[in-house]
Amino acid sequence: MTVNYKFPEGFWWGSATSATQIEGAAFEDGKGWNIWDYWYSKEPDRFFEGVGPETTSDFYHTYKEDIQRMKDIGHNTFRFSISWSRLIPGGKGDVNEEAVTFYNHVIDELIAQGIEPFVNLFHFDMPLEMQHIGGWESRKVVDAYTEFAKECFAQFGDRVSKWFTFNEPIVPVEGGYLYDFHYPNIVDFKRAAQVAYNTIIAHAKAVEVFRTFSVKDGQIGIILNLTPSYPRSDNPADLRASRIADLFFNRSFLDPSVKGEFPEELVDILSEHGQLPERQEGDLALIKQHTADILGVNYYQPRRVKAKEHLPNPYGPFMMDWFFDIYEMPGRKMNPYRGWEIYEKGVYDIMVNLKENYDNIPSFISENGMGVQNEERFIENGQIQDDYRIDFIREHLKWLHKAIQEGCNAKGYHLWSFMDNWSWMNAYKNRYGFFSVDIETKERTAKKSAEWIKEVSENNGF
């Protein structure tokens, strides 16, 4: 294989996932309930084909074999999350020793196989009891999360040096408090703003605690889904629409976590519409002093916007989309299964933005991937021929390579995901893995992309 695209030495090749989406064992070994266990018990019909989080991909029981498979396909890094409700059932109080044992085994097995563990602390999985007292609307929950973070650093910080406070923190804001696709299914911008604000406080507090531990080569950061906002045209009205979309969806978390401050224009907009969250004294100094060392970037699709066609309904609730409409660009390349545009250059644009406006913070692509339905259509000789996934990864990597050539500080690429996993309300509708998972038998089978990525990792390029 001739290597035309060579990546820097020590580049991170791997994949990412989360506790609720792969572990299963939802009610085993002392794990408490999280909001997904609860919501599924109440409204199973809202989940694709009625599949809930109870067993998912059963990583809890098959981690050893799965980590061997990661090694086999060239992973040198792997990101997973620790389930708060497994480690500290109920969200606060005693630590569940069986959970400590499980995560110790996973970490030790990864290290034994030469795969560096990247650990994320929160991936949409609020313990149910914490949601009952207000979830991220409550400062009590922020304090409980800080204790949970401290416990994780104490238990695992001797072997784990890469830590992340949150994955895609804007998603629980959008899903749980604006657009009704996560529990608690509230539609209220002011409460959403409080959730976002308190999440940033929780991030800063976890960073503050982390820095009191002596974690060898320790770095702590956050993982954000950055979705570049592209205007329909250079018309000032379209440009304003894209700038405001960027403020709401990207800079709302990016600026405080990397620069330590909120964008002024965003604060002005929220203030003008009476939507500012409640703050406490000392908050802004806390955020300023405890910024991220490293940034994970999840990139799936661009956001194309245009100026509003119609004024917002004066009787409707305040929403981000008071300021812009989604623009469906003619001729865009689509993933028809997920309804998402495929725009590989987005990855380059994000990296250049980080370089130019965010001190070129060390970063990596922490998720990128392509969900496809009914992949068994593509089986030949017992293997899913997912050439579409190989093309998807390759084209994104070309743009990432270009960004690195131009001095962007990008350290790695993680696919979402190692194996097909449970995707919240979508359950197993769209499959993302290098390995397919039979949800009845839990059997794993390598797809063609698994062989391809192994070669890429071994050559550190393609």
Q: What is the CATH number of the domain that holds 360?
A: 3.20.20.80
| Band of residue 54 on the pLDDT scale cut at 50, 70, 90 | very high
Is the model's pLDDT at 1 over the cut of 80? Answer: no
Residue 51 within a domain: yes
Query: Of these residues, 109, 168, 344, 367, which one is catalytic?
Result: 367
Domain membership flag for residue 454: yes
Range of the domain at 148: 12-459
Give me the pLDDT at residue 380, please: 96
In a domain, 121, yes or no: yes
- pTM of this prediction exceeds 0.75: yes
Q: Which two tokens stand for residue 343?
A: 């725009």
Q: 3-state DSSP call for residue 366?
A: strand
In tens, the pLDDT along 177-203 reads: 999 999 999 999 999 999 999 999 999
- Residue 1 within any structural domain of the chain: no
d(CA 268, CA 280): 19
Q: What is the mean pLDDT of residues 255-281?
A: 97
Cα 81 to chain centroid, rounded? 10
* Residue-wise pLDDT tens digits, 113-170: 999 999 999 999 999 999 999 999 999 999 999 999 999 999 999 999 999 999 999 9
Share of the chain above pLDDT 90, in %: 96
In the block, tokens 């987005």 appear at 346
CA distance 166 to 159: 20
Residue 208: predicted pLDDT:
97
CA distance 247 to 344: 22
Instruction: State residue 217's pLDDT score.
Output: 87
Number of domains the chain contains:
1
The pLDDT score that the predictor gives to residue 314 is 85
Tokens read off for 316: 């409707």
For residues 167 and 120, the answer to whether their CB atoms sit within 8 Å is yes
Instruction: Give per-residue pLDDT as tens, 385-442.
Output: 999 999 999 999 999 999 999 999 999 999 999 999 999 999 999 999 999 999 899 9
* Look-up of token digits 């991909």: 57
Determine whether 65 is an active site residue: no
Domain contains 4: no
In a domain, 5, yes or no: no
Look at residue 359 and tell me whether its pLDDT is greater than 90.
Answer: yes
User: 337: pLDDT confidence band, cut at 50, 70 and 90?
Assistant: confident
Tell me the angle at which helices 59-72 and 97-112 cross, rounded to the nearest 10 degrees. Answer: 10
| Residue of 9, 8, 6, 14 lying closest to 296 (CA atoms) | 14
pLDDT category of residue 214 using cuts at 50, 70 and 90: confident
Residue 2 counted as domain residue:
no
Residue 389 falls inside a structural domain: yes
